[in-house]
Structures are given as C-alpha cells and as structure tokens.
Structure 1
Amino acid sequence: MEKGLERENGLVTLFSDEELREVSGVKRVGEYVEITCGCTSHRYGDAVGRLRVFLNGFLEITCECTPGCQEDKLTPAAFEKHSGRETARKWKNNIWVIVNGEKVPLYKTVLLKYYNQQSKSANGSHRSHNGRACHHDEFVRCTRCNKERRFRLRTKEECRIHHDALADADWKCSDHPYDKYVNLFHIKMP
C-alpha cells in the first residue's frame, strides 16, 4: 500500500477524518475524494465546482457554474480559465475550498498532498505550461579532452543519440553529430 494511505472498512482513504474535518462539502467515493470548490472572478463572481482528488494524485473538476454548464473533467488550470479568472495560471492560489466557513486557497490545504507527490515522481517526464512534453538538455563527457558536450533532447532521434553516447564507454567529441568539426581541433600530443 502506498505511503500515507490508510485502509478503512475495506476502502482506501486518502485523507483522515481529522484532515478533512473542517472542510465543507466532502464526499468519499471509492477511489477518490470529492470536495466542493470554486474560483472567483472579479468580473463574473464565483464559479463553483466539484474537485476530485484521486489515489494517484490526479485532480479533476466538474464545473457547476450554471445549471446548463457542460464542462466536465477539467484540470484545475482549465477550470480557472473557464471561470473567467483574470490572473490565470495560479490555480493553486485561485481555486478555493470552504474551511470553517472561509474560502481557503488549495495550496493552504492538505488536498494537494498527493498531487505534489505525483508531480515529483513523474519519472523524468516534464511538461511545459502548455502541456507538451519537454526535456532538459543533457551532457556527456568526452574521454579524450574531458569536456562536457551538450545533447539536445527535443526529438526521439536526439534522445537516441544521447542514449547511445551514454552507453559508449569510449565516447569522444568527434562522435557528436552536431560537433563534427570538433575533431579538427583535437591535437594529438606526442
């Protein structure tokens, strides 16, 4: 069983009763906990929704801003944008839940505990703000000159080239596809 999860009456519980005692609109449903949430726009007022926190840390919001709203299974960022919030991209601050009768931002609650663990264990996969996968550049040290050479990791082919260079115990700058000219500068010392 995952660390921090408890078993109660055969069901896995994400949060203890103590953690959610003061939160309004809590409903435990099988693999997730559902909480009434909202986002306030200065122009349109409060947009209310139902936040679902799943066992794997995934967050999903069903919008209930108007009786005819068809928005379902929104990410927190998409819900923030749908609500008309002027300063989007700060959903942890802008989306709130009711605790002791007060609107409290998500980041001040325990509800993001598993979301933050999920993002930390993303296994090296990074996503930019637009949702597309991106990679950081990596470096491999030349066995001949001892310099580190940068490898761009934007495509599958670039990732494969980097992987092959890492696997080669005798990799040198002249093997680098982007720096073919580098071997011209290597001078063999007698």
Structure 2
Amino acid sequence: MWGGATRMLQQEEEEESNGNGGGGGGGGGGGGFKEEHLVGLAGLKREKGFIEMTCGCTSAKYGDAVARLRITDEGVFEIVGCECSPGGCCDEGTMKPPAFEKHAGNRSKKWKNNIWVLRHNKKLPLCKTELLGYYNNRGRRGGSKPKVVHRDEFVRCASCGKERRFKRRDRDECRLHHSAANDPNWVCSDFPYERIGCELEEERAASRKAYRGCSKVPGCEGCPFCVCLGCEICLFRDCNCRSCIDFYSCNA
C-alpha cells in the first residue's frame, strides 16, 4: 500500500538535498500560513499564492493514490499531480478533494478523514491537522473576498473580574460587544442578552471557552476565517475609539 507514497517521498528528499523546494524558509509564497502548522510535512513547497505538499487517499481495494495537495491563500483546496496510474500518469488533472476521494476508489464521502498528508513520514488525516483551519469551501469566485465569520469574544467585568461571552454574528451583535469592550466600567449587570449579576459563574475555561464560533475548526485558536482585523461590520463610523477612527480615515 505504501509503494506510491514511498516513491514520491524519496523523490522529494532528493530534491531537498539538492536545494530544490522542501519545507524550509525559502520560496516566494505561503505568507498567510503559520510555520508551526507546516512543520514536518513531506514535500512542502511554497509558491506565490499557494503551498503544496504530498497527500494521498487510501482505498481498501486499490491501495494508495498519491498526489499533491494545493492550498491557496484564499483557502481553496485542490488536488494536483495524481500518480494513481502506473508510471505516474493520470488524466484527471486538477480535482477538488471530494472528487479525488472518489477517484482514489474511496466511496465513504468523508474526504477530510480519508485524504491524508505525510507528517514525519506518517500518514495523518486532514481532520487531525491544522490545515483545515485554512479551508474556505466557497473559495474566491468573481473576485469576491472569502467571508469572515467574527468569532465570539469575552468582556471582563470591572467589579468581579468574570468574563462574559459576546456573540458577533452580525453588525448589531458586533456593536454590543464593541461598546462593552471599550467601556472600562462595564459590569455583569450591563450584559445585554439577559439579566445577570456578578454572582453567576462564568463559563468553564477548559471546555466552553475554547469554542469561539469558528466555522472551520470548532476549537480554533484564531485563523484567517474567524479573526477579523477590522471591517464595516465590527467597526463603526460614529465611534470615537482609535480603531474605528483609523479604519474609516483609511477607507474614506
């Protein structure tokens, strides 16, 4: 089952020893990807606008289909360079992950579990990597920007020190959080969603607080799709805080 993966890994190791590609700091792309998420990935190459790495999908009947996973800066996942046929020739060209899963002979329709990458020479399903944090299933079409979901944030009570969750799914919710976060005297009784006091316990840090509403990875610690650096949804023209003033002065 490991024949195709082993051949590709050997080729990539030879390229790296000759200074052509690999997972080092060279290359002109991959600027939006965190280095700690890429450590140990076999065949990692950085190009302008995307990164690529060795990937594959295993079928109980046909064994390994080895290819390249391409992740663009916009979060588009593509499979290129499939070597499922003898001699490494495949006519499929570029495929979306579900199409590659089917092409490899795996019919379970769970590509996030079935497509793997090689990390430190071991198969690792995509669902167990940080790479899915970059996945944007809509991609970039017609020049539109990927949709950013504003993650939940917490505001600390000035009286008891407990933190309260603010959801930020739309502009109104973002405004409620923004006002509370910029009020140094904000207290639990000011919580806009329900009547609470300082006696109410806060969320348990080890369980609930880890889930902030990222649409890609439930326990995400912050990724390009849930961390917004400022937009017309979460910043406000009539606010006098420095973030809002700077944003609207630059986007006048």
8 A contact 1:92–1:106 mirrored in 2: yes
* Structure 1 counterpart of 2:113, from 93, 97, 100: 93
Following superposition of structure 1 onto structure 2, how do residues 150-165 of structure 1 map, counting pairs within 5 Å?
none
* Structure 2 counterpart of 1:84, from 98, 101, 105: 105
Equivalent residue, structure 2, for 1:46: 64
* Cα offsets for 1:80-123 (capped at 9, x unmatched): 00000132x10000000011221111111121112158578289
Equivalent residue, structure 1, for 2:147: 121
SS at match of 2:68: strand
Equivalent residue, structure 1, for 2:40: 22
- Which whole-Å CA distance do the structure 1 matches of 2:60 and 2:28 have between them? 44
Quick one: structure 1 residues 102 and 122, their matched pair in 2 at CA, closer, same or farther if it must change by over 3 Å?
same
- Which whole-Å CA distance do the structure 1 matches of 2:119 and 2:46 have between them? 17
SS at match of 2:135: helix
- Which whole-Å CA distance do the structure 2 matches of 1:73 and 1:81 have between them? 14
More strand per residue: 1 or 2? 1
Instruction: Give the counterpart letter for 1:83 in structure 2.
Output: A
Matching of residue 32 in structure 1 with residue 53 in structure 2: no
8 A contact 2:59–2:104 mirrored in 1: yes
The structure number with the bigger radius of gyration is 1
Instruction: Give TM-score scaled by structure 2 length.
Output: 0.41
- Which whole-Å CA distance do the structure 2 matches of 1:105 and 1:121 have between them? 26
Equivalent residue, structure 2, for 1:59: 77
Equivalent residue, structure 2, for 1:72: 93
Instruction: Among all aligned residue pairs of Structure 1 and Structure 2, give the percentage whose two residues are the same amino acid.
Output: 48
RMSD between aligned alpha carbons?
Answer: 2.6
Q: 4+ residue runs of structure 1 moved beyond 3 angstroms?
A: 8-12, 116-120
8 A contact 2:67–2:79 mirrored in 1: yes
User: Aligned-pair distance for 1:35?
Assistant: 0.8
Instruction: Give TM-score scaled by structure 1 length.
Output: 0.54
